Amino acid sequence: MARTIKLRIKGMHCESCEKIITMELQEIPGVESAKINSQTGAGLVMVREEVSDAQIIAAVVKAGYQSRIVGQ
């Protein structure tokens, strides 16, 4: 079963930022989709149950941005 993780992401300013984060997230097995918005600093990530919140945050950090989970 899938769940949605809502993120607040700091440091984005363009579509390239969105794409970099999306690519990192999509490398995690179990991530079904990622919608990242640089204008609002928000992200919605659809994941299967086996994906942990820590994996999502780690992917955003690996992409070079700060993030925190604000809802599920």
Distant-in-sequence, close-in-space partners of 52: CB < 8 Å, separation ≥ 6: none
Structure tokens at 48: 């299967």
- Each domain of the chain, given as residue ranges in start order, spans 2-71
Look up the pTM and report it.
0.92
Task: Provide the pLDDT for residue 72.
Answer: 78
Question: CA gyration radius for the chain?
Answer: 11
CATH number of the domain at 2-71, please?
A: 3.30.70.100
Q: How does pLDDT run across 8-49, given as a tens digit for each residue?
A: 999 999 999 999 999 999 999 999 999 999 999 999 999 999
CB 53 within 8 A of CB 5: yes
Neighbour tally for 14: CB within 10 Å: 10
